[in-house]
Amino acid sequence: MRILIAEDDSILADGLTRSLRQNGYAVNAVSDGVAADSALSSQEFDLLILDLGLPRMSGIEVLTKLRARNSHLPVLILTAADSIEERVRGLDRGADDYMAKPFSLSELEARVRALARRGAGGGGTILKHGRLEFDQTGRVASVDQQALELSAREVSLLEILLTRTGRMVSKSQIVDHLCEWGDEVSSNAIEVYVHRLRKKLEPSGVKIATVRGLGYCLERETAAS
């Protein structure tokens, strides 16, 4: 899951970035509205954390332009504690949730998880696929209640596939959702991640199908007749 943070307070932005990365998310940060609008126009994200008081272009303007492009990207706005009018305007312009500063990191992380689930089509914190279960809160995958040993990249890859079950996911889409700016992930590296994850899922009867030229799809192995 890839998150864009648009926040001009560098200390707050750095703290949010570190915290979310420790939870397994790919995170990029910008410090003004023009940079945020440019990133949102040209790249794919799963969630936007948006400060309304951005320089060069306000958060409200960034949000308005985002929704004008018919984007349904989940947006969590950050506001000063006394700016009730701004909060209302943000929600009216299409924000999904807001938090007043100051706030606790644990609450923000919980709201991020909730918005991520909403963006992926809703549902609970546990994604199930045959004998495989994935806890989005703890970011732990298990088969028959036995935890799988997965790397951070493998966990993120599994989440991408599970939230798009039955749909093809291309290598470029995986890179978009898996990687931060500056990450150089080759097509071969994606194949390696898929291969490793596929081997770890085999005992569960869940397999990752490869369709040449299209991408990957998580599907359940059918029982032999």
- The model carries a pTM of 0.67
Q: Domains in the chain, please, with CATH? A: 2-119 (3.40.50.2300), 126-220 (1.10.10.10)
Strand-pair partners of 133:
128, 142
Whether pLDDT at 40 is above 90? yes
Residue of 61, 69, 72, 16 lying closest to 42 (CA atoms): 69
Q: Tell me how many helices (H) and strands (E) the chain has.
A: 8, 11
Indicate if the alpha-carbon torsion angle 13, 55, 59, 88 is positive or negative.
positive
Could you report the per-residue pLDDT of 93-113, keeping only the tens digit for each?
899 999 988 888 889 988 888
Confidence of residue 59 (pLDDT cuts 50, 70, 90): very high
| Average per-residue pLDDT for the chain | 85
Work out the average pLDDT over 120-130: 69
